[in-house]
C-alpha cells in the first residue's frame, strides 16, 4: 500500500499526516477518508479546482492527467508544474508527498 505524506496545512492538517491508501484509489478519496477535509465542491467529478494539490514527491508514479484536468488546472490558485486535481489522481505503488495549497477557488462558496 502506498503512503501519502501530507505536508502541514494550517487549517486542514496542521500537523501534517501520513496516510496508507490502496493502489488505484483516488487521492481525494484517501484524504477525505483519513479526515483531511480537502474541498471537493464538484463531488470529485473533475469540474472544479477545489481539490488541487501539489505533488512534491512521486509525481511520475501517478496516472497521466487528462485534457479536462489540464484545462481546469489552468484556473487553479498557485498552479505549479507538478499540480494535480486530487480527485483525478489514482494512487500507484510508490509513496507520494503532497502539499495542499493555502487557497482554493470555490466559485459556489464565493458567490454567496
Taking the alpha carbons at both ends of the chain, their separation in whole angstroms is 41
Give yes or no for residue 46 having a pLDDT over 90: yes
Q: Is the separation of the CB atoms in 39 and 106 below 8 Å?
A: yes
Tens digits of residue pLDDT in 52-90: 999 999 999 999 999 999 999 999 989 999 999 999 999
Residue ranges and CATH numbers for the domains of the chain are: 3-110 (3.10.20.30)
- What number of other Cβ atoms are within 10 A of residue 90's Cβ? 12
pLDDT of residue 106: 62
Q: pTM score, two decimals?
A: 0.90
Tens digits of residue pLDDT in 16-42: 999 999 999 999 999 999 999 999 999
Give yes or no for residue 111 having a pLDDT over 60: no
Grid cell digits, residue 71: 484545462
Amino acid at each position: 500500500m502506498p503512503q501519502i505524506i501530507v505536508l502541514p496545512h494550517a487549517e486542514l492538517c496542521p500537523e501534517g499526516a501520513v496516510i496508507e491508501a490502496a493502489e488505484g484509489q483516488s487521492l481525494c478519496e484517501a484524504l477525505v477518508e483519513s479526515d483531511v477535509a480537502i474541498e471537493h465542491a464538484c463531488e470529485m467529478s473533475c469540474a472544479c479546482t477545489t481539490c488541487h494539490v501539489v505533488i512534491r514527491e512521486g509525481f511520475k508514479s501517478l496516472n497521466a492527467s487528462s485534457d479536462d484536468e489540464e484545462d481546469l488546472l489552468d484556473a487553479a490558485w498557485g498552479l505549479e508544474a507538478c499540480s494535480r486535481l486530487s480527485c483525478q489522481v489514482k494512487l500507484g505503488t510508490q509513496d507520494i508527498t503532497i502539499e495542499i495549497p493555502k487557497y482554493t477557488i470555490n466559485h459556489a462558496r464565493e458567490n454567496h
